[in-house]
């Protein structure tokens, strides 16, 4: 049996940076340290941050004192202003790539473009971007919603940084049919694109593929959808405790991958569990290789 770990799986640059900033903030500030929402969409990392006295809060009203960290997804200018009016320290850990998208949306809004964003309207990054468009951006999730938009002379389209490239391209094609002059900005970040490519390549070469990550992580959900399109035996788990014999049954090659918020330890733990808990169940498969590809 072979276990192959997808290249580029695990924490992305923006998440690593936000975690580093959070730890530095905890080490240098006295008083309470909060994050506005979960810093990362991963339950194990959130528990670890709580143990280090860094707690998530969901509502601004809950904040009275201490320091608040803005997570990598960023926030709208309106929420930023509300934060600065509180008597608290504000530390901005917005990913620089998301900042760039925010500036793009701001400038497109100033030049009076109709802005379409292909993304999830409930995701914090998108809520922030809607704020930078002064509430004017139209959010679509797929090609079908693009097809339902009216004909228009001019539009600009961009994507949530963790969008599935295949879905974005389909939405852009649909928009081209109903827009005379369409400006297309592929704002899917490089880290997301390389991760999606590695996982889809792996899905075409293994018998079973397990994606590890938080169920509320947008980019991990996208990885799951991408892999499932290629390999029906794709499974989505939050922790290696959820691995079952059915996921491994009959598979000679097992793939493992994780989203931008999945720590490397979670993938190593999955390897360990497959080895110690399941290998003996499969006759003649007492030896196995682990590699990254
Ligand atoms: S997925 Fe990309 S844009 Fe989002 S935080 Fe990570 S590096 Fe930044």
The domain ranges of the chain are 2-10+191-292, 13-94, 97-188
Give distance in angstroms: CA of 224 to centre of ligand 1: 18
- pLDDT score, position 286: 55
Question: How do residues 224-277 score in pLDDT, each as one tens digit?
Answer: 999 999 999 999 999 999 999 999 999 999 999 999 889 888 999 999 999 888
| pLDDT band at residue 285 under the 50/70/90 scheme | low
Nearest residue (CA) to ligand 1, atom 8: 14
Thinking of the domain 97-188, which architecture would CATH place it in?
3-Layer(aba) Sandwich (3.40)
Average pLDDT score, the chain: 93
Give distance in angstroms: CA of 94 to centre of ligand 1: 9
* Residue of 130, 127, 138, 117 whose CA lies nearest to 186: 117
- 44 with 241: CB under 8 angstroms? no
In this predicted structure, the answer to whether residue 1 has a pLDDT above a threshold of 90 is no
CATH assignment of 13-94, among 3.40.50.11270, 2.60.40.10, 3.30.1330.10, 3.40.50.300: 3.40.50.11270
Q: What does each C-alpha distance from 13 to 18, 96, 108, 226 come to in angstroms?
A: 9, 10, 26, 21
Domain 2-10+191-292 matching CATH 1.10.3720.10: the answer reads no
The single residue listed with the structure tokens 């009203």 is: 61
| Residue percentage of the chain with pLDDT more than 70 | 97
Residue 189 CA: nearest ligand 1 atom is 2
Question: How do residues 30-62 score in pLDDT, each as one tens digit?
Answer: 999 999 999 988 888 899 999 999 999 998 888
In this predicted structure, the answer to whether residue 284 has a pLDDT above a threshold of 80 is no
Alpha carbon distance 282, 127 (integer Å): 48
| pLDDT band at residue 287 under the 50/70/90 scheme | low
| pLDDT band at residue 80 under the 50/70/90 scheme | very high
Give distance in angstroms: CA of 25 to centre of ligand 1: 20
Read off φ and ψ for residue 107, nearest 5 degrees. Answer: -70, -35
Does 289 or 66 have the greater pLDDT score?
66
Same CATH topology for 2-10+191-292 and 13-94: the answer is: no
| pLDDT band at residue 281 under the 50/70/90 scheme | low
Catalytic residue among 61, 78, 125, 265: 125
Residue 125 is a catalytic residue: yes
Pocket of ligand 1 (CB under 6 A): 12-15, 72, 95, 97-98, 161-162, 189, 191-192, 219, 260
- 11 with 43: CB under 8 angstroms? no
- Residue 56 corresponds to which tokens in the numbers above? 């998530």
Nearest residue (CA) to ligand 1, atom 5: 14
Give ∠ CA 118-121-187 in degrees, rounded to 5: 35
- 69 with 25: CB under 8 angstroms? yes
| pLDDT band at residue 103 under the 50/70/90 scheme | very high
Question: How do residues 234-246 score in pLDDT, each as one tens digit?
Answer: 999 999 999 999 9
In terms of pTM, does the model score above 0.85? yes
Nearest residue (CA) to ligand 1, atom 6: 14
Ligand 1 pocket test: which of 161, 185, 188 has the largest number of ligand atoms within 8 Å of its C-beta?
161
- pLDDT score, position 282: 65
Alpha carbon distance 193, 41 (integer Å): 19
Nearest residue (CA) to ligand 1, atom 2: 189
- Count of CB atoms within 10 A of residue 293's CB? 13
In this predicted structure, the answer to whether residue 73 has a pLDDT above a threshold of 90 is yes
The DSSP symbol for 254 reads E
> How far apart are the two ends of the chain, measured CA to CA in Å?
15
* Arithmetic mean of pLDDT, 129-143: 97
- 216 with 43: CB under 8 angstroms? no
- pLDDT score, position 289: 78
Q: Which residues contact 53 (CB under 8 A, 6 or more apart)?
A: 26, 32, 33
| pLDDT band at residue 125 under the 50/70/90 scheme | very high
């Amino acid at each position: 049996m072979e276990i192959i770990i997808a290249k580029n799986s695990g924490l992305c640059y923006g998440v690593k940076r936000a975690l580093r900033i959070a730890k530095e903030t905890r080490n240098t500030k006295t008083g309470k340290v909060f994050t506005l929402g979960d810093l990362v969409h991963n339950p194990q990392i959130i528990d670890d941050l709580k143990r280090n006295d860094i707690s998530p809060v969901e509502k601004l009203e809950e904040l009275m004192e201490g320091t608040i960290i803005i997570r990598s997804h960023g926030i709208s200018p309106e929420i930023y202003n509300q934060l600065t009016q509180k008597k608290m320290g504000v530390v901005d850990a917005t990913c620089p790539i998301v900042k760039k998208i925010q500036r793009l949306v701001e400038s497109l809004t100033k030049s009076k473009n109709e802005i379409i964003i292909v993304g999830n309207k409930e995701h914090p990054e998108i809520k922030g971007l809607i704020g930078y468009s002064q509430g004017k951006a139209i959010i679509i999730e797929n090609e079908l919603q693009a097809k339902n938009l009216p004909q228009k002379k001019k539009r600009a389209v961009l994507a949530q940084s963790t969008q599935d490239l295949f879905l974005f391209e389909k939405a852009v094609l649909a928009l081209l049919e109903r827009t005379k002059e369409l400006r297309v900005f592929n704002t899917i970040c490089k880290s997301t694109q390389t991760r999606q490519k590695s996982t889809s390549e792996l899905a075409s070469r293994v018998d079973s593929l397990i994606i590890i990550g938080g169920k509320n992580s947008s980019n991990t959900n996208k990885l799951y959808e991408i892999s499932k399109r290629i390999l029906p035996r794709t499974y989505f788990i939050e922790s290696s405790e959820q691995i079952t014999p059915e996921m491994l049954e009959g598979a000679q090659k097992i793939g493992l991958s994780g989203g931008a918020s999945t720590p490397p330890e979670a993938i190593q733990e999955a390897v360990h569990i497959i080895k110690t808990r399941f290998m003996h169940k499969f006759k003649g498969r007492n030896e196995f290789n682990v590699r990254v590809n």
